[in-house]
């Protein structure tokens, strides 16, 4: 069998018994009858009985029917009337009938919408251009394709505003453009990126018709990224590699490959990319005390901070702000550093180590809960109990009771 894309146009026309002026109207009708409409074959519709039986598979209705059966047996054995059984069955029947009615109504509405939005095509028929429904296309038709010039991307009179509940990271992989939000307009060069905050209406303007942008939406605390909003910055080689890795992980997720593992890797890669972007901005602007050191020293910095936290875990004065001052690093940079390496913020990291120490003390000694709280670096027993419940799932007293039982 010949592959049409390897043949010349004349060969394709000869194989399909068509001419350069298109098919005649009579020939098109004949082929329509021979090959059928140009649409995907639809699955056979379920009958009313099948829909009714499908409604009865609902878990709640199954529970009601089971309750009716139990009630029927007990009423029969105790010689009582079957009033409750009949009421339950009436509710089940009414629910199923309403479900069938609503499903049929929704299906009819969808069919009406589909008929209103039927696609059309321009073809050559009898040597002239004819517009008809795409479902009436047949083999041998010459379809005319053209670019829609009525609504170019860069000249939309009223651009549609996009609004998200999360952050939007936009990376230009090919072609430059604009990201416009409220009174701010940010030009992204090819190989650049910018960030839009949650609930910030925005739209894109691109001069070229063929462009390739990566748009990633994610949730993160506001304190993380105060200096990236609607500012243009170029990707470093390392950021390019992280971006490529994000695309690979996303495609693997779409393919259903180890979803939980891929989701974790994708999130970690995104955090690492944000950290790299922020470090690039801090390096350009020369912020004192705000930027992290170069990449090769980040792990070393984290290890020094981790040792400091472990050594001072019993000190209630140990906090994120204190570490920020001691190591000369801004709090947002600390958050990004910890998220990229351990997947949590520094406050959660400190709290988790304190809870681990508290559990060790509770298991090994007959100390009072208040004493354990003090030895673990908590400022009060109430704060300790609240954090303990959040991490372990129960209060310290409940944990001790389970331990003794």
CATH 3.40.50.450 fits 163-285, yes or no: no
Answer yes or no: are the C-beta atoms of 223 and 335 closer than 8 Å: yes
The mean pLDDT value of the chain amounts to 75
Hey, what are 400's tokens? 């001790």
- Per-residue model confidence as pLDDT tens digits over 314-336: 888 888 888 888 888 878 778 87
Predicted TM-score of the model (pTM):
0.33
pLDDT score for 291? 42
Statement: residue 286 has pLDDT above 70: no
78-83 long-range Cβ contacts below 8 angstroms, 24+ apart: none
pLDDT score for 111? 67
Answer yes or no: are the C-beta atoms of 181 and 202 closer than 8 Å: yes
For the chain, give the percent of residues with pLDDT over 90: 0
Give the whole-angstrom CA distance, residue 178 versus residue 163: 16
Sequence-ordered list of residues with C-beta below 8 angstroms from that of 236, at least 6 positions apart, any chain? 276, 280
**What DSSP character marks residue 130?**
E
- Per-residue model confidence as pLDDT tens digits over 252-284: 777 665 555 556 666 767 777 776 666 554 434
Statement: residue 350 has pLDDT above 50: yes
Residue ranges per domain, the chain? 1-146, 163-285, 295-342, 350-404
Q: What is the DSSP string of 67-125?
A: HHHHHHHHHHHTT---HHHHHHHHHHHHHHHHHHHHHHHHHHHHHHHHHHT--EEEEEE
Q: What is the DSSP string of 172-203?
A: EEES-EEEEETTEEEEEPTTEEEEE-TT--BE
Say which CATH superfamily domain 350-404 falls into.
Homeodomain-like (1.10.10.60)
Statement: residue 24 has pLDDT above 50: yes
Statement: residue 110 has pLDDT above 50: yes
Answer yes or no: are the C-beta atoms of 194 and 157 closer than 8 Å: no
- Per-residue model confidence as pLDDT tens digits over 353-403: 888 888 888 877 678 888 888 888 898 888 888 888 887 778 888 878 777
pLDDT score for 80? 80
Give the whole-angstrom CA distance, residue 91 versus residue 98: 11
pLDDT score for 54? 83
pLDDT score for 230? 67
pLDDT tier, 182 (very low <50, low <70, confident <90, very high otherwise): low
């Amino acid at each position: 069998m010949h592959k049409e894309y390897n043949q010349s146009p004349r060969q394709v026309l000869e194989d399909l018994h068509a001419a350069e002026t298109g098919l005649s109207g009579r020939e098109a009708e004949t082929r329509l009858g021979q090959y059928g409409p140009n649409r995907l074959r639809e699955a056979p519709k379920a009958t009313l009985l099948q829909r009714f039986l499908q409604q009865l598979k609902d878990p709640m209705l199954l529970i009601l029917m089971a309750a009716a059966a139990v009630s029927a047996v007990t009423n029969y054995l105790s010689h009582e009337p079957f009033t409750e059984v009949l009421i339950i069955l009436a509710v089940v029947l009414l629910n199923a009938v309403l479900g069938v009615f609503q499903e049929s109504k929704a299906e009819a509405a969808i069919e009406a919408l589909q008929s209103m939005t039927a696609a059309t095509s321009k073809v050559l028929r009898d040597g002239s251009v004819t517009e008809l429904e795409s479902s009436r296309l047949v083999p041998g038709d010459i379809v005319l394709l053209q670019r829609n010039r009525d609504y170019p991307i860069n000249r939309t009179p009223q651009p549609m505003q996009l609004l998200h509940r999360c952050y939007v990271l936009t990376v230009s992989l090919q072609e430059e453009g604009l990201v416009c939000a409220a009174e701010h307009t940010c030009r992204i060069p090819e190989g650049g990126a910018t960030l839009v905050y949650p609930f910030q209406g925005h739209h894109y303007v691109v001069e070229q018709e063929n462009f390739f942008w990566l748009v990633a939406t994610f949730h993160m605390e506001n304190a993380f990224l105060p200096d990236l909003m609607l500012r243009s910055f170029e990707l470093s080689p390392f950021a390019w590699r992280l971006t490529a890795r994000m695309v690979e992980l996303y495609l693997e997720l779409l393919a259903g490959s180890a979803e939980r593992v891929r989701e974790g890797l994708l999130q970690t890669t995104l955090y690492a990319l944000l950290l790299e972007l922020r470090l690039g901005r801090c390096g350009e602007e020369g912020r004192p005390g705000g930027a992290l050191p170069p990449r090769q020293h980040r792990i070393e910095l984290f290890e020094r901070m981790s040792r400091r936290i472990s050594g001072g875990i019993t000190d209630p004065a140990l906090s994120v702000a204190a570490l920020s001052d001691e190591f000369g690093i801004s709090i947002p940079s600390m958050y990004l550093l910890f998220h990229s390496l351990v997947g949590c913020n520094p406050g959660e990291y400190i709290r988790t180590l304190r809870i681990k120490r508290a559990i060790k003390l509770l298991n090994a000694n007959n100390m009072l809960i208040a004493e354990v709280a003090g030895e673990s670096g908590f400022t009060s027993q109430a704060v300790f109990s609240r954090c303990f419940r959040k991490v372990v799932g129960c209060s310290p007293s409940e944990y001790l009771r389970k331990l003794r039982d």
